[in-house]
Structure formats: structure tokens, C-alpha cells
Structure 1
Amino acid sequence: MVLTTIVKKEVQKNFERQITDMSKQELKELLLINTYKLALARSQVEAVVEILINKKLTTYEEVWKRTNQNFKESTI
């Protein structure tokens, strides 16, 4: 557990150093790439949910209930 905390702190420090060293243009490009990836992932999740609902394997309400449970349990 202690090692995990140490590793997380080291990763955070390295991340902050890398971000600080980036130019404004590089940061804009990184943001654009991550925004695109997020939009793509969201579209994929929506497609899977629609397929599951259409095949009557789940309901929209059940998906939202599970989504809320998972979000509450996450430690982001």
C-alpha cells in the first residue's frame, strides 16, 4: 500500500513536469486528441447500450442505475 502511494506520487510528479514542459500549441493538440478520444468512446458506449436495449437485454433505466452506482463507487 505504501509503495503504491509512493509510485502514484512519482507518476504525478513526472506528469506535472511533462505538462509544464509542453508548449501552448502542444497542450492544445493534446486537448484536441483527448477530446476526440472521449467523443469516440462515448459514441461506442452509446452504440453498445442501444444494441443491448434493442435486443431487450437491458433497459435504459437499468443502464443509468448501474452508471450511477459505478460512478459513486469510483475513486477518480
Structure 2
Amino acid sequence: MFDTDADIARALAASATGYLLKAERPQLLFAAIRDAAAGRTVLSGTVADRMMSRIRPRVALTERERDSSAT
């Protein structure tokens, strides 16, 4: 499939069970077909990352939070 945000959003808005890119490994495609048939949502990793970044608020960490997460 195409990987533009508009194409992905249209497919998901039209009640698509999932969205995979053509470049996925065959094993992942077969597993995705089984998962979709079982009613589970299936997204390529890059698609999931992009959709989550669109809906998740961007919150910057404070300097103290950055320091404590490095330990």
C-alpha cells in the first residue's frame, strides 16, 4: 500500500482492519492476514509509529527528567 498519511487515514477511517506496506516480509504478511481474520488490528511498524505521533501530544522532558532517565 501507499504510505502517505492521507492514504493511511482514509483507509483507517473507512474501517480497515489494518494497514501494511508492500515491503513487509512475507512472514509478517501471513501473520497479519491471520490476525486480521481473527479481528485484531494490524499495522506496519512505521505506520503505527506515524499514526501514534499524530495523536500523541509532544511533551518535552525537563532537564531533571532527562538526567534521571539516563541513569
Normalized per residue, which structure has more strand?
A: 2
Larger RCO, structures 1/2 (Cα 8 Å, 6+ apart): 2
Q: What's the TM-score, normalizing by structure 2?
A: 0.29
Q: State the structure with more CA Rg.
A: 1
Looking at secondary structure, tell me which structure has more helix per residue: 1
